[in-house]
Amino acid sequence: MYLFRLLSALATIALVTADCECGYRARNSTRHDEEWMFTEALETDFSGVHDLSENTNWIRQGFNVSAEDGRGGFGKSFKPSNVEARPASAGSIDGNANDAGVSLRVSSTIEDNLVLSAELDSSRLDLHWGSYRASMKLPQIPGTCAAFFWYFNDTQEIDMEFLSAHFDRTNNIYPLSLVVQSRQSKKAGYDATKTGTYRRVNLTFDPTVDFHEYRIDYLPGKVAFYADSQLLAVMQGDEMPTVGGHMILQHWSNGNPLWSGGPPKSDSLMIVRYVKAYFNSSDPDHLKDQMAACHNEGMALKDTCLIPDGTAGDAVSGGKFFLKTTDATIKETENSDNNRSDRERGGATSSRAGGITQCGFALAMVLFLLEA
């Protein structure tokens, strides 16, 4: 018997194929005996992106963080120009023709005591329960922090962070920091290592050699982390997030020897081939749309699509895409969220102020059983 969890009945977006009219099913990649239903999808194949200036799906960020606020030897200056489209048709990225995607650059050049860094955010702020996946190739150059995470505010945040200074190829050590910032981490000065919501795991592969899929499953009371569909860790309990937020891709350095290290001695690239998100919206208006889209058929399984487990091969090739998309382009925002004194967003320790205004919405969770 399979347990299907319908985590709120909310809308699909216009580009969903007819076969997936009532949503997407993500499964526990370890046991395959548990599935969750999500009603929306956001997929971007960055290897086909040519223009980073005209789309509403992603926003290049521009803002500064002082050395004091970021607790580093240097400040950080996030530059839209450090987020670059590198489509497959354009050839190589720094000599490697297989590195098509969007690159997030940390520059070796220091300007006004600021390290030039990069951040790319999803424009949608209503990403609630869901399965969030990114194919990434990590930087080889020591001295940066590369991150993929989900964010609402300083106490509701889910991070996967890679510190290139800690990679040890001689001993095959490639640590990955998994962090859930919570009320407890706030009490600990945003040091999640002093709470039960921090894990440091070692990857079984070199993440700088090729693309791999990194995945966050954000569920009620539980967060699961995966690499190439292999379970890395599960965190659960009352400290898990409960609201909608957005996705962030980030690459930075500030010289803090306890975290990012650096700055890098030469320009460092984090490359993202794709992002795939299957989720429920925290926007109540989507509920009405979803009911109409499913023709009041009770979310029939025949109108849903099973999301395949992402493999290392899929991370390189792109794998399965459900949406009929055209060339995705990206907007840029200078000095967005000016109320935030430090948008470092991530790290076992963080010090940030302010937050993103988000409509809170209590979502119904419907459970139903289906005989195998």
Q: For 140, list phi and psi in degrees, rounded to 5.
A: -85, -30
In total, the chain counts a number of residues equal to 372
Residue-level pLDDT at 347: 44
More confident residue, 245 or 185: 245
Residues 23, 13 contacting (CB under 8 angstroms): no
> Average pLDDT, stretch 107-125?
97
pLDDT of residue 325: 56
How far apart CA 252 and CA 107 sit, in angstroms, is 9
Bridge partners of 350?
none
Cα distance between residue 347 and residue 331, in whole Å: 26
In the chain, the domains with their CATH numbers are: 47-275+325-370 (2.60.120.200)
3-state secondary structure of 68: helix
Report which secondary-structure segment, H or E, holds 43: strand 40-45
**Rounded-to-integer distance, Cα 2 and Cα 68, Å:** 52
Q: What percent of the chain has pLDDT over 70?
A: 75
For residue 1, pLDDT beyond 50: no
pLDDT band at 9 (very low <50, low <70, confident <90, very high): very low
Model confidence pLDDT, tens digit, residues 328-348: 456 655 544 433 434 444 444
Distance CA 160, CA 142 (A): 18
Q: What's residue 72's pLDDT?
A: 93
pLDDT one-digit tens code per residue, 134-193: 999 999 999 999 999 999 998 999 999 999 999 999 999 999 999 999 988 888 887 778
Find out whether the peptide bond into 263 is cis, omega within 30 degrees of 0: yes
pLDDT top residue among 50 and 123? 123
In terms of pLDDT, which residue wins out, 181 or 21? Answer: 181
pLDDT of residue 359: 28
Mean pLDDT value across the chain: 82
Question: Looking at residues 46-67, what average pLDDT do you find?
Answer: 88
Supply the pTM of this predicted model. Answer: 0.84
Most confidently modeled range among 1-5, 292-296, 329-333 = 292-296
List, for residues 268-277, the tens digit of each pLDDT value. Answer: 999 999 999 9
The b/e string for 151-166 (b: 16+ C-beta within 10 A; e otherwise) is bbbbbbbbbbbbbbbe
Question: Which pLDDT tens digit goes with each residue over 190-238?
Answer: 777 888 899 999 999 999 999 999 999 999 999 999 999 999 999 999 9
